[in-house]
Copies of this chain bind each other. A is one copy, B any other.
Amino acid sequence: MTDSTLGRLDIEQALLSSPYHRWLGLELLGSGPDETTICCAWREEMVSNPHLESTHGGILAALVDLTGLFTLLAAGGAVTATADLRVDFHRPARPGVLLARGRPLKIGSRISTAEVYVYQEDGELLVASGRGAYLGASSQAAP
């Protein structure tokens, strides 16, 4: 991407074209070849355990999945779909904005990998982390 401003607008538009991403209240905070940061607004329907008010693991997994994909797109990877995902849950996530930071691990023509770290808003407390493998665009039939 030679024009990073355009690149960012394109990524923002692609990010928010997904109804689920709009429901998550996502915002693209930064994107580039080395790192992409996305934040996610809290809403009550995200809660897993109502006593702890902990955010559901499926929400954290969604953040790892989508941040990995957009991290690779921002780094120039022609990825189209998630092949598989790994998520580690380190601490209960409390109500409040979550920050997801992604870094590309490997960009390939057939498969690309990114790692993602999800922090509580302050950016210090790591609540989850993980990695995704993403399929590249291909003229072959879909898998």
Residues of chain A having any CB pair with chain B under 8 Å: 17-23, 44-50, 56-59, 61-63, 65-66, 81-92, 105-106, 108-113, 115, 126, 129-131, 133, 135-136, 138, 140-143
List the B residue with the shortest CB-CB distance to A65.
B57
In the complex, the count of this chain's copies comes to 4
Q: How far is the CA of A59 from the CA of B25 in the complex (A)?
A: 15
Residues on B with C-beta less than 8 A from A19 are 44-47, 50
Q: How far is the CA of A56 from the CA of B21 in the complex (A)?
A: 9
Q: How far is the CA of A127 from the CA of B90 in the complex (A)?
A: 26
A99 to chain B, nearest CB (A): 16
Known: A20-B45, A23-B45. A141 touches B62 (CB 8 A): no
Residues on B with C-beta less than 8 A from A17 are 49-50
